[in-house]
Amino acid sequence: MDDVDRGLLHRVAAGDQRAFEELYVRHGQPLLAYAEGLLGDRGRAEEALQDTFLATWRGAGSFEGRSTVRTWLFGICRRQALGRMTGHRPAPLPMEAAAEVPAGEPGPEAVALARADARAVAAALAELAPAHREVLDLAFGAGLAHAEIAEVLGIPVGTVKSRLFHARAGLARALPDNTGLGRPLPERAALGRTLPDGTGCGRALPDDVAAVGVSGREAGP
């Protein structure tokens, strides 16, 4: 996939308009969806998309291949969209506590989400903090790998993972009938600890889960 993109971008750098149009066909829609998610407005999202591709045309020669072409395009699009945000830039997230990565036991959010119907989840999506919606968009809408998201957002991969968990928790909290999800759940951690290992789904953490960050409590809202 990226080989094709690189070939196209190489031709764009040489001034090939055909290749440019092909690049637009391949990535225009996901980029527009991403911009629209950021800006919440079709018109301004379209402007951001146009500027993204103008910048791509101008900057194709300076692409250094340190990331995938797709990551590069999303990075440009993000800058264009952020530059277009009038007044209400999304407040930076409060310090991102390491998300609890549940091991083996399904978290209450997962259970609540699994039970909820699709329309309720879609409605909850609209309630989400912009930064959380953005990371969900990149992961599940644009289909970027976590390493790519980390590059687009300029944050470590571990933060991408924990932000996704926070986003999912926020989504579950925004569901109707979500009593109990908003508060820290010490009893859940206790439950995890008392589960015996070796039952197939006991509390066993791989090393790199620990790297993502495991806290004993649910991070507060």
Partner 1 sequence: MTHPSHLLAEFAAGTLPDDRAGRVARHVADCPGCAAELTGWHQVAGAVGDRVAAVAVPSPGLLAGVLSRLAPHRAGAPGVPRYAAPLGGAATRRAVRILAAQRRLVDRRVWLVAAVVLAVGTAVAGWAPPGISEQVLAIVVPLVAALGVAGACGSGTDEAGELVAASLTGVRAVLLARLTLVLGAIFGAASVASLGLVWFDAGTPLVLFAAWLGPMALLSAVSFALSVLWRPAVGIGVAMVLWVLRLLAGANALDGTVDGLVEPLWRTSAPLLLVAALLMAGTVVLLPHLPAGLGRRAYGR
Contact residues toward partner 1 (CB under 8 A) are 13-15, 17, 20-21, 24, 28-30, 32-33, 36-37, 46, 49-50, 53-54, 57-62, 101-107, 109-114, 116, 118, 121-122, 124-125, 136-137, 139-146, 161, 164-165, 167-168, 171-172, 200-201, 204-206, 208-209, 212
Compute the least distance from the CB of residue 33 to partner 1, in Å.
Answer: 4
Compute the least distance from the CB of residue 118 to partner 1, in Å.
Answer: 6
175 vs 112: CA distance, rounded Å: 8
Compute the least distance from the CB of residue 220 to partner 1, in Å.
Answer: 20
Compute the least distance from the CB of residue 208 to partner 1, in Å.
Answer: 6
Would you say 76 or 87 has its CB closer to partner 1?
76
Asked whether the beta carbons of 176 and 108 are under 8 A apart, the reply is no
Would you say 97 or 145 has its CB closer to partner 1?
145
142 vs 110: CA distance, rounded Å: 22
Report the sign of the C-alpha dihedral through residues 168, 170, 176, 181, in that order.
positive
Asked whether the beta carbons of 62 and 106 are under 8 A apart, the reply is no
Would you say 95 or 118 has its CB closer to partner 1?
118
Q: Which helix (H) or strand (E) holds 206?
A: none
Report the sign of the C-alpha dihedral through residues 12, 26, 82, 151, in that order.
negative
